[in-house]
Amino acid sequence: MLSVFDTVRAAAGIFVGTSIEDLVLLTALFLSFRAIGRPHRWQIWAGWYIGIAVLVLISGAAAIGLVIVPGDWVGLLGLVPLSIGVYKLIGTIRARGRGVAVQPVIAAGVTSVAGLAISNGGDNISVYVPVFRTIGLARSLVMIAVFAVGVAIWCLAATLLGSHKKIVEMIELYGHWIVPAVFIVVGSAIIVSSGVIHRVT
């Protein structure tokens, strides 16, 4: 059974791994603020918290709904993040070969920032749902608290990084590799730790 420290450490790893792209987008938003004054700092903070809260609520609701899934087979949910990780990895390799440019960030207020967070973090649900489902309510609440702290750290880091465009480019470069790797590792870990492989074989 995981201790509180283990849960916090796991939550931090999941947050960082699934939010590398968030840091890039947040940095771009703060760069936009410095350049044209929009969106305002408070709009970025509020919008991103709202967006992440929506993702967590959706994941929590889905996890509760999954109680009808037999516990012995819930590990198969790990196939979702695993598949997304492989898909993202293939997409990254193809995009790198074509030299595809990163799309510009467009957000002007709280609502559009929240929408950006939700659309960019939609894949996070595939990781949060099986994790919340397998660790229970108490540890899920600890994870959510860690995510809340993580968003604050990300916003502060993005504020500092927002004045260094070369740093943004570096994060964008390595973030495309880190995100698929994390999805693959998380999905594989869920499948292996659940023991579902032995039931299938």
Whether the ω angle into residue 39 lies within 30 degrees of 0, i.e. cis, is yes
Task: Report how far apart, in Å, the C-alpha atoms of 164 and of each of 30, 41, 171 are.
Answer: 11, 17, 11
How do residues 119-162 score in pLDDT, each as one tens digit?
777 667 878 888 888 888 889 999 999 999 999 999 999 898 87
Looking at residue 156, its pLDDT comes to: 95
Q: How confident is the model at residue 173 (pLDDT cuts 50, 70, 90)?
A: low
How do residues 65-106 score in pLDDT, each as one tens digit?
755 455 556 567 677 778 877 887 887 788 777 766 544 445
The span from the CA of 31 to the CA of 29, in Å, is 5
Alpha helices in the chain (DSSP H): 4-18, 20-36, 41-65, 79-98, 110-120, 124-161, 165-194, 196-200
Looking at residue 52, its pLDDT comes to: 94
The span from the CA of 48 to the CA of 50, in Å, is 5
Higher pLDDT, 146 or 191: 146
Average pLDDT over residues 45-56: 94
Residue 115 CB partners (closer than 8 Å, separation 6+) = 51, 107
Looking at residue 102, its pLDDT comes to: 44
Looking at residue 43, its pLDDT comes to: 94
The span from the CA of 164 to the CA of 24, in Å, is 12
The span from the CA of 62 to the CA of 31, in Å, is 35
> What burial letters (b/e) apply to 94-116, b meaning 16+ CB within 10 Å?
eeeeeeeeeeebebeebebbbbb
The span from the CA of 138 to the CA of 145, in Å, is 11
Instruction: Say yes or no to pLDDT of 184 above 50.
Output: yes
Looking at residue 180, its pLDDT comes to: 77
The span from the CA of 148 to the CA of 49, in Å, is 8
**Angle made by CA atoms 42, 47, 50, in degrees to the nearest 5:** 125
Task: Report how far apart, in Å, the C-alpha atoms of 198 and of each of 73, 186, 195 are.
Answer: 11, 19, 6
